[in-house]
Each structure stands twice: as structure tokens, then as C-alpha cells.
Structure 1
Amino acid sequence: MKRLLALPPLLLAVAALAAPTIDPPPGWRDVLSEGKVRNAVVALKGPETSSFIVKRAPTAPLDNPAGVRGYLRDVLAGLRAASRREYQSTGRVETRSFRNGLTAQLLRAQLKGEERLVLALFGAAGKPYVAVLMSAAPEAMLTSLLGALELDRIEGVIQSKGVVRSLDGQLELALGGGLRSRSLGDAEKAKGFVLAIQGAGAEILFMKLAESDATKPGEQAAITRALAAAAAGVDVEKAAAVRSAPTAAGPVGVYSWAPGAGGEKMSAGDLPWGYWGYQLFGRGPGSDELLAGALAALKGGPTAVAGLLAASPTIPIEKALPWRKILLGAAAVLCALGAAGLLSWSLRRKNANLPS
């Protein structure tokens, strides 16, 4: 358990390593270390007043066209207010793909009739990012900047169709409908992660548990909630109540989530799987829903044995009494008290009428 509770900081460190990187094009320099742009992961200064900044955008709705448009418009309004420049835009959002594999949603803005600003929203490693390019000729710099982000350090290989299997061959998942997988990096493999699933601006990592990491089923629900709280850096009381998450293969997992910084959700889950088990870690605005949805679609892979899956232990969850039962119980108590009161009143009335 101690090893598991030490994992959330490790996951945050891995996420930091997965942030976009870029080699500045000629005439541009890296100013990220100067710390002038808060929460930036990429900050470049170009000729004259040109700049290129990439920041995390945890609340951005990548899979909702109307939400993307509204989010980029809000960013533009903020830039207009901060810079005191009257940037104007038609509000049209376009999709642009680059040779490095990045696909971004773009919103262009003009200053005094000339295009001077491009906003871009894109996903990387299951997390949304927003880029701001200010230049006298932003169109000419898009390929040299957005197209030069090193996606091999961001996403690895993304698979959005077909079937994906975990590295140990135990887990199998059909992709599509917004559900995709990401290849794991060497550092992730070394820590025991066997599968990475993305969707809805979130990512879920599956880590196979060794026998030394095994805990009693009765303890796992509390551990799962503690993991979610530790990942978010909050007290365990702020983590959501543990819920069950059945799989298509038969075993039933459990999960919880806790509110993180900037609207993110940090999720944790546990999946009993035959003799083994998997710990799940999620990050992103919809990580709890992605976790439950991924488990619901999860099937046994080519190395899974049906008999072992059927014998997977069940994790008990302490459940509060449903409100209906509570109300019915309260009503029964009140009725009993009312009947006792009526009986007591009747006896007093009867005794009062008896002759002395």
C-alpha cells in the first residue's frame, strides 16, 4: 500500500515530462526559463513582438465543436483585455493537421485588418493544450511552430481504430467513438504500466500489480479513495465515494476521483483480474467517466483465462442506506410511536372513566 500511495507524485512527474517540446526555429529563442508566462510549457520569443506560447488547458472541451469555439473565443477575449488591442475575429474555427501528426483547431484574429494572431487548441497525451501565436505573418510560422512540436515526446503512437491489447496480453479494448490508445514510453513500461487509454480530454493508465503489491479485497476500496485524494493533493474526505465499475470480461473494478487544480479530476481505480490485478490512474476533466467507460468495454485478451477471470475476487463497497429505505424506516418509526401514543391515551381515557 505504501508503494501505491507514493505513485501519484510519480505520475505527475511523468505527465510533466510528457509536455510538448520544441527546438526554436531560426530567429526565435526559448524564454520558458525566464518564468514570465505563468503555467506555460512552451514559450518562444521571435523577431520584434512575435511570440509563441503553449499552455495546458484542462477545462477545454476537445470533443465538442461548439465548446471548442466558445473556449477559443473566451481566450481571445482575455488576450484582447490583457493586451488592450482590438483583435477581431469572424469566430470561424478550422481544423489543421501537420506533418508531425498534430491536429489542431484554429481561430484566427486580425488587428487593423491584418492577421496577427492564431489560437490553436489540440490534445496531447490525453490532455488539452492551447497555443497562442502572435506574429506579423502567423500563417507563415504555423508549420515552423505548431508543426515542429515533438509529438514523439507528447503522445507516442496514437491508435484510434481497431483493437488494442495491454502489453501482457490480458486486456483487450475496441477503440473508436472517441476512445483511443497511446503507446507507452520506456519510463512508463519500467514502472509496470501496460496500457494507456485516452478520450474526452483525459487519459487512463493501467498498471499491473505484482504479488508483493496485493492487498486484501476488503481494504481496496479505501485504498482506491486514498489514491485519488493523494493524486489530487487533497484530504481523503474530498474524494468521491467509491463506485463499482463492471467489465465486459466479468471482473468488477472500483474507482474514485478527487478535484484537482484547474478543473482537472484525478481518478484512481482497482481492477481484480484472476490471480493478478491492475491499478488505474486517470487525469483530466472527464477521467472518472473515461475510467468507468473503458472498464465497461474491457474484454479478456489472448492470454486471459476465462476460468481465472470468473474466480476474480469481489471488492466490497460500504454503501449508505438508500433514501427510500431511510424514509420508509422513519415513517415506520413514526407510525409505531403514534400507535404507542394512541394506545397510552386510550388507556388513560379508559382508566379515567372507571368508577373509584
Structure 2
Amino acid sequence: MTTQTATAAAALDEAFSLDHLLGQEELRWRDSARRFARERIAPVIEQDFEDKHFRREFVAELGALGFLGMHLKDPGCAGAGAVAYGLVCHELEAADSGWRTFVSVQGSLAMSAISKFGSDEQKAEWLPPMARGERIGCFALTEPQGGSDPAAMTTTARRDGDDWVIEGAKRWIGLAALADVAVVWAATEDGVRGFVVPTGTPGFTATAIDGKLSMRASVQCDIVLDGVRLPASAMLPGARGLSGPFSCLNEARYGIVWGAMGAARSCLEVSIERATSREVFGRPIGATQLIQQKLADMLVEYEKGMLLALHLGRLKEAGRLTPTQISVGKLNSVREALAIAREARTILGGDGITNAFPVMRHMANLESVRTYEGTDEIHTLVLGRALTGLAAF
């Protein structure tokens, strides 16, 4: 971080003053994530984004810091509070959405599914090494023909003697080509069920999706399940129907509420830096009313987003957070983060389209965040249904 960026960050912190709303343990988690994001991710992320490079060596480091599955209370997991987890997501996404996505896929999706619905044997086998970053997991729900309608799932699991045989395909599955284990959701005669699938099982193939203009330092994949044979013990015994995967998705959506505001903060910080250092017509551009209005509007939306995230975190810790409330947070945070990123680009002028600044990278990544874990349209309809009692899907 440059001196100018640090000054901008300090100005933003002083204008907001969130710290007094947080506990000491929450601040410890935040500061740990902030150091990792600034010292390890930030120096290499622009080149990694350009090269489409995922730094697998960071996985064990994230595990050593306790970030993987940190909100779970299983053996090997940190058992941290919801706000602490949100703050970690916030700091990682301030560096890059891909690394918050990794923590979400590993902890909020794959590990959460095993924690919520797995047998004691499944938990003991997978959760401790996943928490340490020794094993990577993925969560295979979305299918090629349409991610917003999981009820139309075509992947099937059928009984064959004492075994299960899975046939089908999944798409946009984070980490699948790197994963040691996949939580695969499939339709059975008894409804949708989840299965713990070691990725070395014959018939399981994961191929990284190329050509992405977003999330380039992350890995998303197509999966083919061609006669994948599993023992009966591979089924997650506690999950039946779509409520199982949906509960995991809500864990990940909650992290996005905080994470997207991290990307917004990064864009706001560089805008403040640029506004005070760039001189045009004999004075800093930040001395003009139009630039100050842009910065003020960005700050207001950022503060509102963070206060909403904190409110949802406290509700989650009290056991009162609802899926509708999560939809409010996800819809607002991503939408406003994108608006802040686009306004930041105008303040940076032509330089804003270069990788000298993180804004275009954040903007591109946020387009993916806007789509996964429920599109804007889906969350809008969730809220409309909650307000009217009428489903418009």
C-alpha cells in the first residue's frame, strides 16, 4: 500500500468509524485478513488476473490463519462469529473477489454442507484437513441449462445394489478442477440428495472454463459425471430436498454481503487518492464540486452497505437471520459496489481502464458476483414475494 493510498484509507475510516461497533475478537480477525490481503494478495493480483493464475500456495496460508470454515464449530474449525467471518470476507474481496470466492466455496458451501448434513465419519474425514487447507472442496449444484432453477435438475443418482451411480453434468463450479472432494447434488427417487464425491472417482471429470473476462485469478469449471459409482456411505444423510443446498447457498450469500463492499471500499480508496493527487486546471480535481459530489455519494452508499452487513451479521449471530433478509443484503451490496466501481472509473479518467488501478478488475469480478448465488433478478423476486405473498418466478 502506498502512502497516498494509506492516507485515503485513513480518511475513509475516520469518516465512517465502524471500529467502535466491533468487538476486540472481531477486530483481530479483520486485521489478520487485512494483513494477508495487503501483503500477500495485493502485490501479485494484477499479474495473476492477467495470467489467469490461481495461487494454490495461498490455500494452506488461509488455512493456517483459520479462515477456512471459520464460522463452523466442528473439530478443526475456528467457531468464529458471523460478523468476524463477514469482516474476513470484506478484507479478502477488497484485494480480489476471487479469493473471497475461494473462502466461500471452501467454507460456506463445501464444508458447510458436510458440517450441516454429513455423518460423523464424513465430518471426521474431510473437515479438519479442509480447515487446514490440505484438501480443497467444491459444491456442484448449478447445471448447464440454467442455474436459477435447481428444481429442474437433470443430474441423477440411482441405486445399483448397495451403491449409488451418478449421471449428469454441472457448470460454473468453483474450484472443481483443483478439488479433492465435491459435494454433488442429484435427483433421486427420494428427492434431491447430496453426495460426498472424491474427485478421483472414475467417471468424475472437471474442466476449467476458459475465455473468462472476469474472476480470472480464480477457477470455475464444467463437471461431467459419467457413471460415477459411490458406496451408500457417500450420501449426506441429513439433507433431503432443495432445502439442503439452499441453506448452504445462504451461507455464501451472507459472505457476499460483506465481500462486495470490500471491492467497493478498494475503489473508493483509490478515488480519494486520485482526487487529492491529480491536478487539472491548476488544482487537485478533488477541489471541484463535481468530484466531491461523486465521492460523497460513493461514501454514503458504502456506509449504508456496511451498516446493513453488520445488522445482518448481528441477526445471524442471534439466530434470527432470514433468507429474505440475506436477499436484501446480496442485492444491495453487489448493485451498489458496481455503481461505486463505475463512478470510481470516471474519477480516474483514462488511467482507470488500466491495471495501474484495481477498479476495472473489481468491476469485471463484480459482474460474476452479481450473477452467482442468485442473480439480481432472482433476489428481486424473492423480495417481491415476501412483500406481496405472490410468487412471480
Same fold (TM over 0.5): no
**TM-score, with structure 2 as normaliser:** 0.27
Largest Rg, 1 or 2: 1
Going by fraction, where is helix more abundant, 1 or 2?
2
TM-score scaled by length of structure 1: 0.29
| Greater strand share, structure number | 1
